[in-house]
Amino acid sequence: MYKNLFIIVILAGLGILLGRFLLTHHENTSLPELPAYYTDNADHEVGAANVVTAVVVTYRGFDTLGEVTILFVAASLIAMFLKNGLVRKERDPRPSSVILSTAQKLLFPLIVLFGVYVFANGHLTPGGGFQGGAIIATGFLLLLMANPQAEFKHGLFNSIESISGISYVVIGILGAILGLGFLDNRFLPLGHLGRLFSAGAIPVIYSLIGLKVGAELSNILHHLNEVQNEE
Amino acid sequence: MEYISLQNIGLVTGFLLILTGLYGALTNKNILRIIVSFTIFDAGLNLVIVALSYMKGRVAPIIDKTTGIHHLSDKFVDPVPQALVLTSIVIGVGVTGVMLTYALKMFKTRQSLDIKDFKETKW
């Protein structure tokens, strides 16, 4: 009884707090100083048409390195928890329907291609490494749904992940040596604003992040799927 | 009528999602339902942060032919909250994956997903 009262008090308190904020706040009419600097200078300093990408990969690139690390730690934790004592059980599941397996064969390459498109154009259009990687992982999810017994080449996925992670850090250090600071994208030519090969190292960094995130999320999906094949 | 703006619609939806997620996390006994509640809370929080950066009459911060490259800080919405939410979504995915893995492990040890069956860490 006290517990229910406690929950009601917490929810009502938070609701009143949020409601008061809603009634008293005002929409901004101009950008604060820092975002105004980012939007005004992203085109000639970074050369990326997508200002959000310029902020994520260059201005706040160190945060993104931390973000990639967090995802890596999560994937390693999941692998560690689910890898113990894996004994494969011979299952004979009902084969998936013709529609699903045919559609999977047709759609899988297209989904992976779309993911590559999204992360390769991250500096020009909405999208980027994390989104492209997530799209590639949905392709592998479709593969696992059509064929739950599918075997992934773990070695290949792990090497893709490690190589792209190391290359990301190496490019960051190259930026410090050849450019102005860690993760500076200007050691490669900035090119013409809006072209595919522009914005210095941003397309390279975002492609590496896309490969890394795609491999990590596919590995997580495969580990979670493997559980039902265990004894 | 002055309260009905695109920003307030986004804020109210986000606040309702946050309250729904908190209610679900506090009242449910099944671990999977608690995890789903946390993801709802997460979605509401991200929606609120993006809605706060919205400004009437401005466009998404992507340079193209219609925006030109001059006086961009008068045409674009704030890109920083959008970059933060990008980070937050990715971390949310990682945390959800780890929570689901814990739930799987807990189910393997007790054959149950009810938090009433796990009393060792209760104080």
Q: Is A9 on the interface with B (CB under 8 A)?
A: no
Measured in Å, how far apart are chain A's first and last C-alpha atoms?
42
Quote the CA–CA distance of A209 and A65 in Å, as a whole number.
9
Interface probe for B, chosen from A2, A21, A27, A222 (most Cβ of B below 10 Å), is A27
Q: What is the pLDDT of residues A178-225, one digit of tens each?
A: 877 787 777 777 777 777 777 778 888 888 999 999 998 888 888 888
Q: What is the pLDDT of residues B53-84, one digit of tens each?
A: 888 888 888 888 877 777 777 788 888 888 88
* Predicted ipTM > 0.95: no
Is the model's pLDDT at A230 over the cut of 60? Answer: yes
Which residues in chain B are contacts of A70 at CB distance < 8 A? 90-91, 94
Q: What is the pLDDT of residues A12-29, one digit of tens each?
A: 998 898 888 888 887 777
Single out the residue of A43, A25, A95 nearest to residue A202, CA to CA: A43
pLDDT by residue for chain B (123 residues), tens only, comes to 566 788 888 888 999 999 999 999 888 888 899 999 999 999 999 999 998 888 888 888 888 887 777 777 778 888 888 888 988 988 898 899 899 888 888 888 888 888 877 777 666
Which residues in chain A are contacts of B90 at CB distance < 8 A? 67, 70-71, 130, 213
Q: Hey, are the CB atoms on A18 and B15 less than 8 Å from each other?
A: yes
Distance from CA of B44 to the nearest CA of A (A): 12
Q: Is B86 on the interface with A (CB under 8 A)?
A: yes
Tokens of B52: 């706060």
Residue pair B93/A213 in contact by the 8 Å Cβ criterion: no
Single out the residue of A135, A129, A148 nearest to residue A108, CA to CA: A135
Sign of CA dihedral A196, A202, A207, A213: negative
Q: What is the pLDDT of residues A107-165, one digit of tens each?
A: 999 999 999 999 888 888 888 888 899 899 999 899 888 887 777 777 888 888 889 88
State the Cα angle at B45 between B43 and B49, rounded to 5°.
115
Size (chain A), residues = 231
Which H/E stretch holds residue A94?
none
DSSP string, A130-144: HHHHHHHHHHHHHHH
Q: Is A194 on the interface with B (CB under 8 A)?
A: yes
Q: How confident is residue A231, by pLDDT bands cut at 50, 70 and 90?
A: low
Which alpha helices (DSSP H) does A2-128 contain, by range?
2-24, 33-45, 51-53, 61-83, 98-120
Q: Running DSSP on this structure, what letter comes out for residue A54?
A: I
Is the model's pLDDT at A177 over the cut of 80? Answer: yes
Q: How confident is residue A91, by pLDDT bands cut at 50, 70 and 90?
A: low
Query: Look-up: residue for tokens 């999208």?
Result: A127
Q: Is B87 on the interface with A (CB under 8 A)?
A: yes
Q: Hey, are the CB atoms on A22 and B60 less than 8 Å from each other?
A: no
Distance from CA of B47 to the nearest CA of A (A): 14
- pLDDT on residue B46: 93
Q: Running DSSP on this structure, what letter comes out for residue B68?
A: -
Which residues in chain A are contacts of B26 at CB distance < 8 A? 7, 10-11
